[in-house]
């Protein structure tokens, strides 16, 4: 499975010949591994510890690596400086509703394109796929016009609906459904199961890893989305966490209150970090599947 370049330096094959050169490679490898780990860990460590530091520790040089206490003062101040409770609620609502809608639509659409007849179905699918080539930044102006024409500016509908269409999710699920054994579905058909039942009771259970992947990718997209919520919301009561954080910093002006802002950043970042650590397998396979098939 693994190429020899993987095995060679580890020295299991020629353990009798463990040479100085070998040790040197090992030291080099571990040294690099530690450097890479630090480059990615230190900024996150810095965020979490700074969020607990009081102002004297934050504005101190050389830097204080360990905060003197785990005082949640900054979190309390951030919560009071901006309606983070409201931002959290908006983000949670947008993420939950958006993810469920996106995933359900991707599942039903993929099922329809694989198992149901429709005139010019394949042409329709190609048109759908072509939307992948149109980046969101090109669409924002017209989408803003559409949403304002619908009277949806600064509403949950405006925040959520434009994002629930899913080309990539539909594509991923369709590719997967095409590989499922037809006999399974035919047997269910003979037993008189409706299409909805076939979808819910047969196709979805055996496609669970892909469905979970599509859902998790949707969670990441919704929770982190920035440019669209920035454009379509204009009051604190509708803002999501990343937008709330952005305006909090803007209102702080030139002299940033870093303790406060780091605490706000933790509010935005922590939920996704937890989801990532729990669902890593699906996230990585989902993001890489595009690479393997692409």
4 binds other proteins (CB under 8 A): yes
Q: Look up tokens 């329809």; give the residue.
A: 112
CA 197 to chain centre: 30
Minimum separation from the CB atom of position 71 to other proteins (A)? 18
Measured CA to CA, the distance from residue 101 to residue 215 in angstroms comes to 10
Quick check: helix, strand or coil at residue 62? coil
Q: In angstroms, how far is the first alpha carbon of the chain from the final one?
A: 22
Quick check: helix, strand or coil at residue 235? coil
- Kindly state the number of chain residues that form the binding site for other proteins, as judged by CB under 8 A: 106
135 binds other proteins (CB under 8 A): yes
Question: Under rule CB under 8 A, which residues in 240-279 are in contact with other proteins?
Answer: 241-243, 245-246, 249, 256, 258, 261-262, 264-265, 268-269, 272-273, 275-277
Measured CA to CA, the distance from residue 177 to residue 214 in angstroms comes to 14
Give the helix, strand, coil percentages of the chain, each rounded to 5: 75, 0, 25
Question: Under rule CB under 8 A, which residues in 186-205 are in contact with other proteins?
Answer: 195
Question: Under rule CB under 8 A, which residues in 21-50 are in contact with other proteins?
Answer: 29-30, 32-33, 36-37, 39-44, 46-47, 50
Site string for other proteins, 64-103 (x = CB under 8 A): ----------------------------------------
Residue 60 backbone dihedrals phi, psi, to 5 degrees: -125, 140
Please identify which residue in 23, 76, 100, 141 interacts with other proteins, judged by CB under 8 A.
141
288 binds other proteins (CB under 8 A): yes
């Amino acid at each position: 499975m693994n190429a020899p370049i993987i095995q060679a330096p580890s020295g299991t094959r020629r353990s009798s010949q463990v040479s100085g050169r070998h040790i040197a490679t090992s030291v080099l490898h571990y040294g690099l591994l530690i450097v890479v780990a630090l480059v990615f860990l230190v900024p996150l460590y810095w965020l979490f510890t700074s969020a607990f530091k009081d102002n004297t520790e934050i504005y101190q040089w050389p830097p204080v690596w360990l905060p003197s206490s785990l005082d949640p003062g900054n979190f309390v101040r951030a919560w009071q400086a901006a309606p983070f409770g409201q931002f959290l609620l908006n983000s949670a609502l947008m993420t939950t509703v958006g993810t469920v809608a996106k995933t359900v639509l991707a599942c039903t659409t993929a099922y329809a394109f694989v198992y149901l007849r429709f005139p010019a179905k394949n042409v329709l699918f190609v048109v759908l796929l072509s939307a992948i080539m149109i980046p969101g930044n090109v669409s924002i102006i017209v989408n803003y016009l559409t949403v304002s024409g619908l009277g949806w500016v600064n509403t949950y509908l405006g925040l959520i609906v434009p994002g629930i269409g899913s080309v990539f999710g539909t594509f991923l699920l369709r590719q997967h459904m095409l590989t499922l054994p037809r006999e399974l579905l035919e047997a269910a058909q003979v037993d008189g199961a409706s299409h909805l039942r076939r979808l819910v009771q047969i196709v979805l259970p055996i496609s669970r890893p892909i469905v979970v992947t599509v859902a998790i990718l949707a969670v990441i997209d919704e929770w982190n989305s920035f440019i669209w919520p920035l454009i379509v919301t204009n009051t604190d009561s509708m803002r999501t966490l990343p937008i709330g954080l952005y305006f909090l910093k803007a209102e702080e002006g030139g002299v940033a209150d870093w303790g406060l802002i780091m605490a706000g950043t933790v509010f935005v970042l922590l939920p996704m970090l937890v989801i990532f650590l729990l669902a890593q397998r699906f996230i990585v396979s989902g993001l890489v599947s595009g690479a393997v098939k692409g």
